[in-house]
Amino acid sequence: MTGIKLVARPETVLFRTHAGPLTGYDLLRAAHRLAVSIPAGPVINLCRDRSRFTVALLAALLRNETSLLVSDRSPERLRWLLNEHPGAIIVTDTGEFESRFPHHRLSEIPCDFPGNENNPEIPLDRLVAIVFTSGSTGAPVAHEKRWGELVQRSRAAIAQFGLLQEDQPETIVGTIPPQHMYGFETTVLLPLHTGVASMSVDGFYPADIRQALTAAPAPRVLVTTPLQLRALVESGITLSPLRMVISATAPLAVELASQAETRWNSRVQEIYGATEIGSIASRRTVSGDIWTLYPGIAFRPGSDGRTEVVAPPATPHPISDMIETTGLDGADLGGFRLLGRPGDLLKFGGKRASLAGLNAILNSIPGILDGVFHAPDDTGLRLARRMQVFVVSPTRSADDLLAELRSRIDPAFLPRRVVMLDALPRNEVGKITREALVGLHEAAAQPACSQAS
């Protein structure tokens, strides 16, 4: 096989919008029209509506151009991107860039209008997109994505989650922007490559998510993040029946997953992946800490000692996490346990802990709506500058939380201070960039909070 069709099932409804359903043929006609109206060059796709995002993606492919996907929409990031990719054009569906940058504004996609419905085969090695990391571990990094690997991963996800096994295709309601790799894979590429449908508009707040689920035909799949899942559960809001909930971008607490399953009578699945490797494994959170690789994906030892992901036709790529497979039930079927990232491991006084583990303990404390540990870069050298914790908790005090932490974690990792905030500076996918954490640390330099002795 040398190529795969741009849209796998063009006759099928792939997106549901406020104006009505859109089939693959509707998207193709709109994409062909856009392709001849934008200048040559890479496409910085900033469309918020998923159907318009997809039209811009398809138009770039029809022009043999690459889409640039970045979650950070700040003027500084966009100037940098335009400077790094001369000739790039911003395609957007909002008026936020009217006077700042050259751009093309994409309006509503009409249904059943005449136009070119050609659905070409795209070579497997075609560079489709350059996706930038969120910056949660440092400066954003670019990763190339090719057509064959994206199609293969979509098909593997369908098999992994048992989708498209009923007469009516599933409808995905996503809360993650399509510019993020997780949102790109689940809410844009799955419809293009497999025929499931996706609601076109983001739902971020509980009321918005309920509205989107109410408008979505059954069976419904909610694709979200732990932060938004917690907000949904704690809101007590009633949702339309869900076939499945899928979560990613951060570790999901078992207690929260259990509450969601009980409240909505649905299974909660968690995805493991990263921008550089895409989604590669999943687990049902309440069933334990063993992850299962997607079909067609395997691990192998890398030449530098790290574990590599092997997922043809993609080039093998190392993962950032340490894993364990030896002695695990199901390891021969792709089962593994995550041990954390090397940079996530903290060592104080001969003792060890991971930031991910400490954050899980912190966010399991009753009354905490959101919280994060921060380890200054020089923590291991200057014990006087110990851990800091930033917390959102309207009902608890800093002293209360320090007492709770003292009973739950080793004293070596007890934070120097608990800083109470109205909200944490999370981005649209629920992550906090390293830069934002450093900013919080510097703003809290004056000792106006409770400190551990």
For 65, list phi and psi in degrees, rounded to 5: -110, 160
Residue 421, CB half-sphere, CA atoms under 13 Å: how many?
Answer: 20
Tokens of 329: 């039930």
For 264, list phi and psi in degrees, rounded to 5: -110, 5
Q: How far is CA 259 from the centre of its chain?
A: 22
Three-class SS state of 413: helix
User: Cβ atoms within 10 A of the Cβ of 332, count?
Assistant: 8
| DSSP symbol at 333 | G
E strands, 255-366, in order: 267-274, 278-284, 290-293, 298-301, 307-310, 317-318, 322-324, 335-340, 345-348, 351-354
The per-residue pLDDT for 163 is: 96
164-194 burial by CB neighbour count: b if 16+ within 10 A, else e? eeeeebbbbbbbbbbbbbbbbbbbbbbbbbb
| DSSP symbol at 335 | E
Taking only the tens of pLDDT, the chain with its 453 residues reads: 689 999 999 999 999 999 999 999 999 999 999 999 999 999 999 999 999 999 999 999 999 999 999 988 888 889 999 999 999 999 999 877 666 788 898 887 877 678 899 999 999 999 999 999 876 555 778 999 999 999 999 999 999 999 998 889 999 999 999 999 999 999 999 999 999 999 998 778 899 999 999 999 999 999 999 989 999 999 999 999 999 999 999 889 899 999 999 999 999 999 999 999 999 999 999 999 999 999 999 999 888 888 999 999 999 999 988 898 866 665 566 799 988 777 677 777 677 788 888 888 898 898 998 999 988 765 444 433 567 899 999 999 999 999 999 999 988 888 888 999 999 998 877 788 888 888 888 887 765 444 554
Closest of 154, 202, 175 to residue 50, by C-alpha: 202
Closest of 157, 184, 190 to residue 171, by C-alpha: 190
Task: Name residue 344's amino acid.
Answer: D
Tokens of 360: 């899980």
| Cβ contact 116:28 at 8 Å | yes
Non-local CB neighbours of 308 within 8 Å, separated by 6+ positions: 299, 300, 301, 302, 316, 317, 318, 319
The per-residue pLDDT for 385 is: 52
Closest of 383, 382, 388, 384 to residue 417, by C-alpha: 388
| H or E, element range at 362 | helix 355-363
Angle at 180 between CA 183 and CA 345, to 5 degrees: 110
DSSP 76-93: HHHHHHHHHSTT-EEEES
Closest of 319, 321, 320, 324 to residue 290, by C-alpha: 324
Instruction: Give rounded-to-5 percent helix, strand, coil for the chain.
Output: 30, 25, 45
Task: Name residue 242's amino acid.
Answer: L
Q: How far apart, in whole angstroms, are the C-alpha atoms of residue 319 and residue 91? A: 32
The per-residue pLDDT for 328 is: 62
Supply the pTM of this predicted model.
0.86
Residue 143, CB half-sphere, CA atoms under 13 Å: how many?
Answer: 22
The per-residue pLDDT for 261 is: 98
DSSP 253-268: PHHHHHHHHHHHT-EE
Domains and CATH numbers, the chain: 3-339 (3.40.50.12780), 344-451 (3.30.300.30)
Non-local CB neighbours of 324 within 8 Å, separated by 6+ positions: 336, 337, 339
| DSSP symbol at 388 | E
The per-residue pLDDT for 380 is: 46
335-360 burial by CB neighbour count: b if 16+ within 10 A, else e? bbbbebeeebebebeeeebbbbbbbb
